[in-house]
A and B are shown apart, each in its own frame.
Chain A
Amino acid sequence: MTTARETAPSTAAGPSSDAAGGAGTALTPTPSGTTTRRRPRSAGWLAVLPLIVFVAVVFGLPAFAIVTKAFKTAPGAPGGVHWTTGNISQSVHGAYLTALWGSVKLSALTAAIGVLLGLPLAHAVVTSRFRALREAVLAASGVLANFGGVPLAFAFVATLGNSGELTRALHLGDHGWSLYSFTGLSVVYLYFLVPLMVLTITPALEGLRTQWREAAQNNGATTRQYWLHVALPILTPSLLGGFVLLFGSAFAAYATAAAIVGSSVPLITLQIANALSGNVLAGQGNVALALSLDMIVIAGVVMALYLPLQRRSARWLH
């Protein structure tokens, strides 16, 4: 707050001395343009400084710890603490590789299904004649996309868990259904991924102008042709962006999986948590950091793919 106050008077120099021209403000009348320009810039820096410090400490320190400790041996290791690539190679072998692969598989599968289900749902919502319904569905999507984590897990345990209402009513257990499996987890993940897709793709669908459809129809295109040659090519960046975003969400999800399956489905987030809390072997802390580094790399790739796609798709929204 102090910075805001400090910056405030100095920023005043720019607009008010130009526009008001000494109309009773207490500012010193500085005619030279250089001072009025230099001061505001430092004001901007001053106001951003607390944020920079905060991010440097709260984000920088953990990031530094991850990167350095991932390449060091554990404190109790024979031969003392020294640099090594052992943690990283351990993190992409054996059970950890299985977990990493499990996470990638689950995220890719649920993201793909999420895109496939989210698109028709969003289209149905966008083209609906009832404005109230549209707003209700979009608001509901906002809630449901946020509904990840613990409450979602318990809602599904109550519905499709071993003693869940639907499981007992339909005797799903006899047909081999289990919520605590890869398939079960996919069904749960879709619950927050499909609404997320609806939210992501809706602006793009709203950007599809009716004139384009009419133009296609006037030129004799069938609905199928319109979608294949006009709508889908325009939507492709948004769809890909949506897929990448969904993948990232599913990949980073921990609470839902932890509350539902414990550790019966191998996922990288669960493995990291296990290794951190010492549930497996002692001295796995640094491997957990190496696994975290793996995750950060994948998440970084995801963001690097998503941002340009989002910018590309934003072009059609105007």
Chain B
Amino acid sequence: MAALTPPATGAVPTAPGPKSVRRRARPRVWRGAVGLIAALYFLGPMVFSVIFTVKVPGEGFTLGSYTGILGADGFWDSLRLTLELAGATIALTLLLLVPAMIAVRLTAPRLRILLEVLCSLPLVVPAVALTAGIGSVLQWGPDDFANTPLFDTFNSIQNPDFPVVLLLAYVLMSLPLAYRTLDAGLRALDLATLVEAARNCGASWPRTVLRVVLPNLRAALLNTAFLTLALVLGEYTVASILGFQPFAVWIVSVGGSNAQLSVAVSVLSLVLTWVLLLLLAAAGRGRSHRSPRTSRGGAATAPVTVTVTVTVQENS
């Protein structure tokens, strides 16, 4: 280390020109190399997946595996189940969180810590462990409540047509990301002033929330909805272990008999996720143009960044 210092200190005063040029040119090459390698690694599997699905040995190019998706056994049922679950999850998550977060911000700032802890708890329990716990709670039905009215409750929340137990699990799993997204949205808003202004103008409380607060939270609400949708679309762990068959579980079960078909569905679901997140980014950017508050420090992308880090734990 000590040996390095003298030449460097000597070089700067004598030849500042060439030195700075070299310093700038080298990172550019290095940056390009890093980018190229990353692009190869990250685009490779997608490109090869597409090739895999359109190339049938001996037949050449075909789109059969994509057209085959629509007629595949169980495709529509699993897709319907997943979309219903996603819709219900988004609705229940927002209903639980939005009133709580608004009220806490306006009236009881001390409860924020409680709220944050409640919403971060699911992070400590990995999806597999949560499923194990849910499974053993569901065992109480036949074991301990067999002759009580509760038994029917246990049965009805496991109805394969619409498993409420999955809905509850998904809402719990989406709490951390939903909380952070909404919190980022609320942070960019001067809620107290906004509400005060609306109330002073004579707006009733429901009107204030529906016409003033929620429209201002539009981007955060959309973010939450999209990310929750992505979570439910990709969720495999809970559903597969509890024995239900939404979309992701269906893909795997199809993969056993028809690898091409399941890869094709995977490609489609990736494209769908991609489109959703692009929409999300666009919504965030649209917001940042209108209010200077969010554009500071790239806050428009921040909600996506923060929440994405959370989802992975649940989904993969």
List residues of A whose CB falls within 8 A of some B CB.
1, 3-5, 7-9, 11-12, 14-16, 19-20, 23-25, 40-41, 43-48, 50-52, 54-55, 57-59, 61-63, 65-66, 69, 75, 120-121, 124, 127-128, 135, 138-160, 163-166, 191-192, 194-196, 199-200, 202-203, 206, 217, 220-225, 245, 248-249, 251-256, 258-259, 269, 272-273, 276-277, 285, 288-289, 291-293, 295-296, 299-300, 303, 317
Contact = CB atoms under 8 A, between A and B. Distances in A.
A276 B199 CA distance: 55
Nearest to B103: A47
Contact of B236 (A144, A149, A199): A149
A45 B156 CA distance: 31
Contact of A44 (B104, B121, B133): B104
B217 interface: no
Contacts of B120: 303
A220 B9 contact: yes
B136 A55 contact: no
A259 B240 CA distance: 11
Given A225-B8, A303-B124, 20 more contacts: A15-B195, A16-B200, A20-B200, A40-B106, A47-B104, A54-B168, A62-B125, A128-B31, A148-B312, A149-B248, A150-B266, A157-B259, A159-B52, A192-B312, A224-B4, A249-B313, A276-B135, A295-B126, A299-B124, A299-B126
Nearest to B97: A51
Question: Which of B38, B120, B202 has most A Cβ within 10 Å?
Answer: B38
A151 B251 CA distance: 8
Question: Which of B96, B171, B209 has most A Cβ within 10 Å?
Answer: B96
Contacts, number: 337
A165 B139 CA distance: 45
7 contacts: A19-B200, A69-B136, A151-B269, A195-B42, A249-B313, A291-B132, A296-B125
Contact of A159 (B44, B114, B123): B44
Task: Pick the 8 closest A-B CB pairs, nearest first.
Answer: A148-B316, A62-B133, A44-B108, A8-B205, A47-B103, A40-B107, A252-B126, A292-B129
A163 to B, nearest CB: 8
Nearest to B108: A44
B49 interface: yes
Interface stretch (B76-84, B181-189, B302-310): B302-310
A202 B8 contact: no
A154 B8 contact: no
Contacts of A191: 41-42, 45
A255 to B, nearest CB: 4
Contact of A251 (B126, B200, B255): B126
Contacts of B34: 120-121, 124
Contact of B96 (A51, A152, A251, A296): A51
Interface in B260-275: 262-263, 266-267, 269-270, 273-274
Nearest to B262: A154
Nearest to B20: A217
Contacts of A147: 270, 273
Interface in B115-130: 115, 118, 120-130
A146 B121 CA distance: 20
Nearest to B143: A75
B283 interface: no
B298 interface: yes
B69 interface: no
A121 B38 contact: yes
B85 interface: no
B100 A51 contact: yes
Given A43-B107, A51-B96, A151 B133 contact: no
B46 interface: yes
B277 A47 contact: no
Nearest to A161: B259
Contacts of A155: 45-46, 48-49, 263, 266-267, 270
A50 B118 CA distance: 12
Contact of A51 (B118, B269, B274): B118
B126 A154 contact: no
A138 B199 contact: no
B131 interface: yes
A303 B312 CA distance: 15
A210 to B, nearest CB: 13
Interface in B31-53: 31, 34-35, 38, 41-42, 44-46, 48-49, 51-53
A294 to B, nearest CB: 9
A221 B95 contact: no
B31 A152 contact: no
